[in-house]
Amino acid sequence: MASSAPSPAASPLFLREEEIRRGIELLQFGHAALAQVMAPVLAAHGLGRAHQRALYFIARRPEMSVSELIELLGITKQSLGRVLDELGERGLVQMIAGVRDKRQRLLRLTAAGEAIENALFEAMRERMAAAYSMAGQGSVTGFWRVLENLLETEDQRMIAALQIRAGR
């Protein structure tokens, strides 16, 4: 990732339209940059972004229920069903019955699913680590705070739960 001239400092009037628009633009282009580094891995496996999102969160929380994943991704049961059916047919995700409630379907990546998710994460990790390194620790914390504060309270709780389950 080539480094360009440093970004200008935020104006003391950082809530003006122009500063807010710059933030929105940077979020859009940042998201596109991450999608671009994942594209070759996804294409090699005939997968799309919906598959990547499911693989990522199942990897973060093995044995989460289908209903938890629906809530986390903010999509419909039907949409997730198509993605999970395809991942299951390809041998990337397995569903197991819940311990207390046998009707509950818990999700886990297979070894093949873990390999693909790891390749996707590595592609993003390199880009994120380089950006974090150039920005510095204080900027990373500030970036996290901005993104967290974009979320509704319930979504903030879900993100916090991901961190707790990951042992952080």
For residue 85 the two structure tokens come to: 């059916």
Q: How far apart are CA 55 and CA 31, in angstroms?
A: 18
- Which pLDDT does position 120 carry in this prediction? 98
Q: Is 72's pLDDT higher than 60? A: yes
* Token code pair at residue 167: 């042992």
Q: What is the pLDDT of residue 167?
A: 59
pLDDT at residue 144 is higher than 80: yes
Domain 17-135 class, CATH top level = mainly alpha
Which tens digits make up the pLDDT trace of 76-135? 999 999 999 999 999 999 999 877 777 788 999 999 999 999 999 999 999 999 999 999
| Neighbour tally for 116: CB within 10 Å | 23
Average pLDDT, whole number, for the chain? Answer: 90
What integer pLDDT is reported at residue 87 of this predicted model?
97
State percent of the chain over pLDDT 90.
73
| Beta-carbon contacts of residue 130 (< 8 Å; ≥ 6 apart) | 1
pTM: 0.85
Strand locations in the chain (E):
64-65, 93-97, 105-109
pLDDT value, residue 123: 95
pLDDT(3) > 60: no
What gap in Å lies between CA 1 and CA 128, rounded to an integer?
Answer: 10
pLDDT value at position 168? Answer: 53
* Through-space distance between the first and last CA atoms of the chain, rounded to whole angstroms: 29
pLDDT (mean) for 57-71: 93
Provide the 8-state DSSP code for 61: S
Which pLDDT score is estimated for 23? 92
Query: Is 41's pLDDT higher than 80?
Result: yes
Domain residue spans in the chain? 17-135
What pLDDT was estimated at residue 1?
A: 57
Question: Do residues 41 and 123 touch, judged by C-beta distance below 8 A?
Answer: yes
